[in-house]
Amino acid sequence: MSLTTQQLAELELLLSELADDRLSQSGRAALSALLRAEPEARDYYIRFMSLCCDLHEQAAIALSIAEEQSDVCSPPTVAFGGARVVWRPGRAFGAAAAATGVTVAILAIAVAIVWWAPRGQTGRTGPVIGWLENVGGQVEIAEARLQAAHAENGQAVRSGQSVSTVGPEAHVTMRLTDGTEIILAGDSRVVFAREEQEHVHVEYGNVAAAIQRRAAGAALVFSTPEARVEVFGTRLSLSRGGQQTCVTVLEGTVRVQRLSDLRAVRLSDGQMAEVSPQSDLRPLPLAGSADHWTLDFGDGLPRGWQTGQLVFEELPPGSKAAVRAVGVVDYAQKAQRRRQIRSHNAWNEGLFAIYHDSWIHVRYRMERPGTFLLYVVCRQHDFGQPVATVLSSGNLRETHAGQWHTLTLPFSALRRARSQAPPPLDGQLVAFALVFDSPEQDPGLTVERIWVTRGLPAEPRQPIEASEASPLDHRQWRESSAADRFAH
Amino acid sequence: MTSHPPQQGADFSPGPVTDRHARFLRMYTRHQHSILAYIFTLVANRADAEDLLQETSVVLWEKFEQFEPDTDFVAWACRVAFLKVLNHRRQSARADLLLEEDLLETLAARTLQLAPQLEQRRQALAECMKRLAERDRQMILARYETGGGVERAAEVSGRSLGATYKALYRIRKVLFDCVTLRVAHSGAR
């Protein structure tokens, strides 16, 4: 038997009161009765309590980066490998531990909760450590965890502050006082802390950096929830998301340490490593970006897929699955509601390189007539400037709803999202994410396959291959591309 | 016992540490959050859960030689933790108890069964947090940070206490649904 809507609503309310320590005695009795009567309520309870516990962890991660350092209030810390160990004396923990002397002291270190706790020097923020340059799109700067403010070119960055880029095309360069460049692109957030060494904590997103040479013992440290990366002068790229950190070294040498077991490896030019508790931590050769690429969803959504719902019905012949656009709130666009499909973030490895003869093909269906846009989010092949280039198809209008179509576009027809200048198509742009975007009035966009080729397709297709439309050749398509169904 | 914990500066080796220490440390650090979540589910109080985790960790270390390497460390640790929870319960004031002992046992067993899914949900939460409105994100972080609470969340968000309770209810529900959806999607692979 499953929970009724009324029971579920009651359970949600009781659990919320329990979570905020205001559940009355009668509420406790009601909760207990529900848990006894309904297995589904017990599962819901367990998942909810687990969520609350996980929220404490999330808050600890965020706070450890930003909170004020207080010798009075902070638990004592001891150095422990690359991490910081915090020993929190328990209220009921005492005699037994004290009696076993050194052994328990060692044990205490071994079993204490390991927190990553970079902290500012004093107060919420410390001294100026650099300035912002090349601000593009929505970039925010915040002190500790206070409300973020829009960032501007030339704005100073202080230790203890966080910098965020919001949206696929957002980017910013932070130039530190020693000339080191740290670049953020896409949805990313870093926090600058300063302890013994300069320290940048990457919460999520994409970072590229060119670090000036440093003296021994004065490494710049990048940290993520999974890894600690020490650099003494190098060019590197780092992405963090999906409980995984990926580090690529373009020049120089870095030391990468996994925080879960403190194993470490050194990476040199042209090497990368994936860091997660499950990964095989070892240097891997950095593969060049492919110029042919294909993606379908027969094996499900790729790891780290950002947005979209996997669907298994009403597919074209031979297909196993497709991905359907879902509702999102676009905070970069005044909180507009949109329908989107967003691919995984392939910042480090790239999806494909783009040349003057590259074409992109998309097998898709719309449930209702409407429009959508395709954005191809790119970086430079060497992670240099400009950091992020977003290519856009402009509005694509589909009037033949309910049928599967193949959209085929040459990259030479795509335009920069915020500039009239033609994009370079000589292989220096590498796509690292794709976004399909449609307005809130859901046209039901579903994508079954995406692929990229070089050279004209074997069978030239129209930009929107309506099954009943008469075929257009490539020249005709170019001439009609300014028409309403492909209007920039 | 004269072994030492790993030392800072040991470049590529874990340092002068016994195998037993190293094995225990590796397993415990990998799974401590799962054990904490298990305890928290049963006691519904963060401070109690952390204290019980510490007590549990001492017992786990003392009994680590009894742990069979090819068996489930989390299940073994949770059995120890459950005894600690029962002991804690028996020492607590009756009025403080949320759940009866038999119900507690049922929940404990089910929590272990759901452990892999709960780990998936934990991973999904990090992604869902990123999708919160910044104001909501700040608010929920203030609620759950060490030393935080509902009052702190109200202060950060500039809302009244009543409005804060409502907002926290809404945000947790959004996160719960988001996590459920993400896990369901990944499970469909």
Which pLDDT score is estimated for B84?
92
Which pLDDT score is estimated for A121?
33
pLDDT at A34 over 70: yes
- Mean pLDDT of the A348-359 span: 90
Which pLDDT score is estimated for A336?
64
At A369, the amino acid letter reads P
**Cβ–Cβ of B103/A91 closer than 8 Å?**
no
B36 in contact with A, Cβ within 8 Å: yes
Residues in A closer than 8 angstroms to B134, CB to CB, are 140, 147-148, 331
Nearest to B144 among A32, A48, A55 (CB): A55
Which pLDDT score is estimated for A195?
52
Work out the widest C-alpha separation in chain A, in whole angstroms. 88
pLDDT at A250 over 50: yes
Nearest to A58 among B8, B126, B146 (CB): B126
Q: How many CB atoms lie within 10 A of CB A75?
A: 14
**Cβ–Cβ of B4/A106 closer than 8 Å?**
yes
Q: Is A137 helix (H, G, I), strand (E, B) or coil?
A: strand
- Mean pLDDT of the A442-450 span: 90
- Mean pLDDT of the B139-166 span: 88
Residues in B closer than 8 angstroms to A36, CB to CB, are 103
B166 in contact with A, Cβ within 8 Å: no
Q: What is the pLDDT of residues A266-323, one digit of tens each?
A: 998 889 999 988 888 999 988 777 888 899 998 888 877 888 888 988 899 889 899 9
Q: How many CB atoms lie within 10 A of CB A337?
A: 13
Residues in B closer than 8 angstroms to A113, CB to CB, are 32, 50, 53
**Cβ–Cβ of A19/B172 closer than 8 Å?**
yes
Domain locations in chain A as residue ranges = 5-116, 128-285, 293-486
Which pLDDT score is estimated for B106?
93
**Cβ–Cβ of A54/B14 closer than 8 Å?**
no
CA A220 to chain centre: 23
- Which residues sit opposite A211 in a β-bridge? A234
Nearest to A36 among B4, B103, B123 (CB): B103
- CA–CA gap between residue A432 and residue A392 (Å, rounded): 14
First to last CA, chain A: 54
CA quadruple A93, A94, A100, A103: dihedral sign:
positive
Nearest to A46 among B107, B130, B148 (CB): B107
Residue of B nearest to A27 (CA): B98
Residue A94 burial (10 A CB sphere; 0-12, 13-18, 19+): exposed
- Mean pLDDT of the A338-355 span: 88
- CA–CA gap between residue B176 and residue A51 (Å, rounded): 7
Query: A with B: how many residue pairs have Cβ under 8 Å apart?
Result: 226
- Which residues sit opposite A171 in a β-bridge? A136, A185
Complex confidence, ipTM: 0.88
Q: What is the pLDDT of residues A191-209, one digit of tens each?
A: 887 554 578 889 888 999 9
More confident residue, A82 or A389: A389
Per-residue confidence band for A46, with pLDDT thresholds at 50, 70 and 90: very high
- CA–CA gap between residue A479 and residue B2 (Å, rounded): 81
Looking at the domain that runs over A128-285, which CATH code has it been given? Answer: 2.60.120.1440
**Cβ–Cβ of A48/B176 closer than 8 Å?**
yes
**What is the 8-class DSSP label of residue A407?**
E
Nearest to A51 among B3, B133, B175 (CB): B175
- At residue A55's C-alpha, the angle toward residues B125 and B126, to 5°, is 25
* Mean pLDDT, all residues of chain A: 76
pLDDT at A183 over 60: yes
State how far the alpha carbon of B107 is from the alpha carbons of A35, A272, B42, in Å.
Answer: 9, 44, 7
pLDDT at A401 over 50: yes
Residue of B nearest to A8 (CA): B173
Beta-carbon-side half-sphere exposure of residue A40 (alpha carbons within 13 Å): 9
pTM of the model: 0.50
Is the CATH number of domain A293-486 2.60.120.260? Answer: yes
- CA–CA gap between residue A282 and residue A225 (Å, rounded): 18
**Tokens encoding A377:** 């989010």
The answer to whether residues A174 and A184 touch, using CB atoms and an 8 Å cutoff, is: yes
Residue A287: which residues within 8 A CB-CB, separation 6 or more? A349
Residue A40: which residues within 8 A CB-CB, separation 6 or more? A1, A2, A3
Residues in B closer than 8 angstroms to A146, CB to CB, are 138
A293-486 has the same fold as A128-285: yes
State how far the alpha carbon of A277 is from the alpha carbons of A25, A245, A297, A458, B116, in Å.
Answer: 42, 10, 26, 44, 15
The percentage of chain A sitting over the pLDDT mark of 90, rounded to a whole number, equals: 23
pLDDT at A85 over 60: no
- CA–CA gap between residue A189 and residue B60 (Å, rounded): 38
Q: What is the DSSP string of A461-474?
A: --SB--TTSPP--H
CA B145 to chain centre: 14
- CA–CA gap between residue A457 and residue A94 (Å, rounded): 74
B20 in contact with A, Cβ within 8 Å: no
- Mean pLDDT of the A150-161 span: 85
Which pLDDT score is estimated for B96?
60
Nearest to A63 among B25, B114, B146 (CB): B146
Q: What is the pLDDT of residues A117-126, one digit of tens each?
A: 333 333 445 6
pLDDT-wise least confident of A468-482, B43-57, B136-150: A468-482
Residue of A nearest to B46 (CA): A53
Q: What is the pLDDT of residues B84-143, one digit of tens each?
A: 999 988 877 654 677 888 999 999 999 999 988 898 899 889 888 988 888 899 899 999
